[in-house]
Structure 1
Amino acid sequence: MLNLIIADTSLETIPINVFKHPSLKKIRNSGKKPKEILLDRSLHHFAMMSTKLDEDYKRGRPDILHIALLNALATPLYQRNHLKVFIHTIDDNVIIVGNNVRLPKSYSRFEGLVLNLFRDKKIISEDGQLLLDLRPNTNFGDLLQEYVKPEIVMGFSTTGTFKRLELIGADLASYTNGCVVIGGFPKGHFSKNVDSYLDKKFSVSDMGLESQIIISRLLYEFEKNVLV
């Protein structure tokens, strides 16, 4: 079994100080409440910059998670129940992804699904299967210790030691419950809390590759060692 954690993910509802910015008057007049709006840099960039939002360079990109999940959940590894997926957000919420989840490919539908999850804390299928489970106020350490309980935690960052992905995939296959951590944010590095739990940290390219690329290539290399 391999555990994938998408960490420090840019997924949150709009902060109240950003929501109150004069540039977002039309949004406020629409009747929507802050808890009904995902922070999105493509829509809220000026308000984010004007309010000097902390670590703004890592925030407001829920589309990164959407693309990363579509890649991970489409793999044979996940579909054959050899992969568990967890999401840790930048504001310390955790989302546990169930088995056999099929996410909407449309971003607008994905956004609606996430907002429903934030409101209801669970997304359950028509046949009663738990698809998404939100655990509020759960930090990265809690996620590892209470839910994942891995033998080893490998992180991927440009600050890590270079190693070829095929070698990492083979190494991971030697563990019965390994864990890989990939950032769900556009710029910067893991938070100090996340970084402190990484047993090993690797770089796999001299370029800053996007999260979905790392996920796809890593899972493929792992698959070659565990799937016949």
Structure 2
Amino acid sequence: MDKVILLLTEASLETIPKELLSDPVIIRDAKRRGVNPRYLILDRARHHRAMTRLPNAEKRGRPDILHQALLLIQGSLLARNNLVKTYVHTVNDLVIDVDPEIRPPRNYDNFIGLMSQLFEVGRVPPVGKPLMRFVNGINYVLNTESPDRKILLDDVKGKEVSLKSFIDYVKNFKRPLIMIGAFPRGSFEERTYGLADDVLKIGKYIMDTSSILCRLLTALEIELGLIS
């Protein structure tokens, strides 16, 4: 295995939908944060009342899930040894290229501010080497990384395998692409299933994004000899 490509899929990261821009909850929060409402990040913790009329609301407004996931991946031994490459695919089908060297802010408010800048400018930081930037969709990831296997981890439709079996399988590929959902509940879109060569589930329990990543990253680090 040369490198693992991680795609945080259908991540609950988006700016305020246009149908909510005039909502008093949104206007108040934008003023308090000093942000143009167009680039305010939708967050259920602050915008729950406004979100009740949104379609597919159960999957939206949870950027904290992505924040936690990026902290785990980018702070891992895999990242320190250039053995993992991260991309983010959002609930609105946008794709973000994450530089291997980025260490996301640990403070959540700082992270949200960074995401607002990303949506406004298209990259962060605005000048110099981009640490996060929007790219041209999933095809960019496939064409750039040329994965030799695309695996979707899914609690709903996945074939159950043990963590050991999963690692034994993945290590046979040079550049496996592993897709992990970064949303709170619900199922993947059909277009996501259509990308996968395998749809698997690790163990019999439903696990959130951080739980899956903790187990997966540690198991890979052990397999690759980074820790014993």
TM-score of the aligned structures, taking structure 1 as reference length: 0.90
Matching residue within 147, 150, 157 for 2:147: 150
Establish whether residue 7 from structure 1 lines up as the match of residue 17 from structure 2. Answer: no
Secondary structure of the structure 2 residue equivalent to 1:130: coil
Percent pairwise identity? 29
CA displacement, residues 112-139 of structure 1 (integer Å, 9 cap, x when unaligned): 111111122222499x44311212xx44
Q: How does 1:1-228 map to 2 (within 5 A)?
A: 1-27=3-29, 32-49=35-52, 52-124=53-125, 128-135=128-135, 138-140=136-138, 142-158=139-155, 159-228=157-226
- Preserved contact between residue 173 and residue 226 of structure 1 (Cα < 8 Å): no
The 3 A distance-change label for structure 1 pair 71 and 15 is: same
- Preserved contact between residue 13 and residue 38 of structure 1 (Cα < 8 Å): yes
- The whole-number CA distance in structure 2 between the counterparts of 1:115 and 1:25 is 15
CA displacement, residues 36-75 of structure 1 (integer Å, 9 cap, x when unaligned): 21001111111111xx212110000000000011011111
Alpha-carbon RMSD across the aligned residues, in angstroms, is 2.0
The 3 A distance-change label for structure 1 pair 195 and 35 is: same
User: Which runs of no fewer than 5 residues in structure 2 stay unpaired?
Assistant: none
- Preserved contact between residue 27 and residue 37 of structure 2 (Cα < 8 Å): no
Secondary structure of the structure 2 residue equivalent to 1:201: strand
User: Which runs of no fewer than 5 residues in structure 1 stay unpaired?
Assistant: none
**CA offset at residue 148 of structure 1?**
2.8
TM-score of the aligned structures, taking structure 2 as reference length: 0.90
- The whole-number CA distance in structure 2 between the counterparts of 1:90 and 1:189 is 12
**CA offset at residue 101 of structure 1?**
1.1
**CA offset at residue 144 of structure 1?**
4.0
One-letter amino acid of the structure 1 residue matched with residue 130 of structure 2: L
The 3 A distance-change label for structure 1 pair 28 and 175 is: closer
